[in-house]
Amino acid sequence: MNKRIHGSCTTILVGKKASIDGSTIISRNDDGHEALDPQRFVVVNPDEQPQNYRAVISGVEVKLPDNPLRYTSMPNSILTNGIWPAAGINSENVAMSATETITTNSRILGIDPYVENGIGEEDIVTLVLPYIHSAREGVLRMGELLEEYGTYEPNGIAFSDKEEVWWLETIGGHHWVAVRIPDDAYVVAPNRMNIDHFDFNSDDTLCSADLKDLIEKYHLNPDYDGYNFRHIFGSASIKDTVYNNPRTWYGQKYFNPEIEHDPMDQDLPFICHADKKISIEDVKFVLSSHFENTEYDPYGNGTEDQKKLFRPIGINRNHNVHILQIRNDVPAEIAGIHWLAYGANTFNTVVPFYANVNDTPDVYKNATGTFDLNNMYWLSCTTALLGDTDYDLYVDLRNTFELEAMGAYRHIQNEADQNFATQSDPVKYLEAANEKLAHESFTRQTKLLGEMVTLGSAHMKLRYNLND
């Protein structure tokens, strides 16, 4: 059996009435335990989808339906531990991000232990996304797979379509729970069980059929009233106070600056309502953040202990950030947007790739384990590494780059949207738009790296202040 690798991600979910343009948004930093893990952005066409799936890590075998949909996917470049497709949007405009590693407790594991030869992060997108036609259907298929095969790890999984956003969390080896995020709400979810208050009688909740009986039978509920699943099935550890809770705190502080919370609070709310509508740029800022304007910023002015106290959201272990947007104000053929960036998020920008395509740009698709500045993954990682050596020196370059780059991407997207109706071959048209976006992104990222090298060279320690 291969080595079990756990991610350490951060998720943001946004309902359609909470977003600035009426779209649904699910997003996540796909983080790992290694600083580098090359990623690829691909399209899996129906004839490329396996019918008999076998996991590399656990060896579980799953027979898949024979009618898969096309979908975008973000697999690892090095397949030693399997495909690991982080997220994608299928041809029915259903999005999925999997998975957010979460936490659990010994009480539920004593009842429903993990299944060593079950399914895990390596497998989930491949087993679910090609076969679902709505976010709710994604929850139900995921639940059926968990009940039949079990899982060897705890995970949170997001689904969306143009109307709904759902969040599912696994419980023990075979159980699960899911909540529909209210249209006017947002969620910031780190690596812990996040679902708190749960109503078994709501149309906006789903779970294992026996979950309520299981709670009663095994005396799992520590609260006198109601059902708080974070209390029942999750953790409240010292690690949560420094590794998980501060990320939720900072995201909620950004979206709701009027609310004061403690960054270590174990009971920060799951469902939140922002004081203004949320944009893609807002989501990207939070997913790139390192506690700016607080004493906990690793690049800031706090004490060394303060700067190292909490795990930031933007971190050297960001492998990709994806923001999956299903729009409601455009034709269905251009509704799905797979925003994407690679590497540590502090020095990259997300690019709005159309999901209704049969192929992706080479510069985003062909990363290998060999360093190559002609590839977007390695170029992004190099820029982030240099930026980390002197953040204050490079931050203005970064800010200008991000503003101008996002403006350029949105201009290309707006033109592509406006001219879409006149196209005779929509897929080829969108693939050409994606190529234009990729070229713009690669050119701008290369330019930023060059400007940073030029600026940084004048500030090297290997210098002397007299000319000869």
Place of tokens 């995020």: 181
Torsion 310-313-314-317 (CA) sign: positive
Cis peptide before 205 (omega within 30 of 0): no
Q: Assess contact for 97 and 28: CB atoms under 8 A.
A: yes
272 is a catalytic site residue = no
Catalytic: which of 9, 207, 272, 381? 9
Alpha carbon distance 54, 59 (integer Å): 6
Alpha carbon distance 237, 243 (integer Å): 10
Alpha carbon distance 5, 257 (integer Å): 36
Alpha carbon distance 13, 28 (integer Å): 9
Alpha carbon distance 184, 30 (integer Å): 25
Residue type, 36: L
Q: Which of 249, 188, 177, 167 is nearest to 210 (CA)?
A: 177
Torsion 415-417-422-425 (CA) sign: positive
Helix orientation angle between 391-419 and 376-389, rounded to the nearest 10 degrees: 150
Place of tokens 């399997």: 82
DSSP-assigned letters across all residues of 154-169: -EEEEEE-SS-EEEEE
Estimate to the nearest angstrom the gap between the alpha carbon of 439 and the chain centroid. Answer: 24
Q: Assess contact for 317 and 311: CB atoms under 8 A.
A: no
Residue 339: exposed, middle, or buried by beta-carbon count in 10 A (0-12, 13-18, 19+)?
A: buried
Place of tokens 């270590």: 264
Query: What are the residue numbers of the active site?
Result: 9
